[in-house]
Amino acid sequence: MKILRYTLPIVLMSLFTRAFAQSHMHKPVDTPAPSAAQKSFATMKTFAGEWEGRTTVAEMPEMKDGALMHLSLRVTSRGNVVVHEFQEANTPLDATKYDHPVTMLYVDGEQLNLVHYCDAGNRPHMTGNMSPDGKTVEFTLAEVSGGTKRGYMQHAVFTSIDANHHIEDWTFMMPGDKPMHAHFDLQRVK
């Protein structure tokens, strides 16, 4: 009987502890709602993949059916960065002979950021915001590192049409502050 008097509380205590632990294992964890920057970044991640399409330049009417471009977008660094790489389609990956700008997109604090490593030798930093309908992310210039005498990228807009079609509009400021607008109509390469 003495053994039962000492054993019973220990058994009851272990059953209570186990039941309490199991009840807390099934409670949902409170996660904060994603910020506007995180939502915008999530939209940018949906563009991951290979894309091709023609470019048109508003200031050059002869480019109404411009060069066929290839775009590679990939999510890297455990989901913290999107890498955006453009090049003319069907050209070798040789940055000494062909344009090959690389752009990095990431969230820092409450801000979606874009850093464009330009073939003009500079690094424009832009900040982005998503449109109310969630289909467009627009980036505006915050600062430029490196020289701007050969021009610099000033503005970028990414618009989702559907899962296999998106549009990019980039504005490059030429020397003398003359804007040049490039429009890329891109289809996912299957």
Q: How far apart are CA 144 and CA 31, in angstroms?
A: 36
Cα dihedral sign for 143, 146, 148, 153?
negative
Beta carbons within 8 Å of 185's beta carbon, 6+ residues apart: 53, 54, 56, 165, 167
Residue 169 CA, distance from chain mean position: 15
Q: Work out the average pLDDT over 175-181.
A: 92
Which CATH number is associated with domain 36-188?
A: 2.40.128.20
**pLDDT tens per residue across span 25-48:** 555 667 788 888 898 899 899 999
pTM of the model: 0.79
- From 27-36, 39-48, 136-145, 163-172, the region with the lowest mean pLDDT: 27-36
State both tokens at 30.
């409170």
Question: 35 with 175: CB under 8 angstroms?
Answer: no
pLDDT digits (tens, 9 = 90+) for 67-123: 889 999 999 999 999 999 988 787 767 666 667 789 999 999 999 999 999 989 999
Domain ranges of the chain: 36-188
| Distance separating alpha carbons of residues 24 and 17, to the nearest angstrom | 11
Q: What is the pLDDT of residues 100-115, one digit of tens each?
A: 789 999 999 999 999 9
Q: Among 126, 70, 76, 122, which Cα is nearest to 93's?
A: 70
55 three-state secondary structure = strand
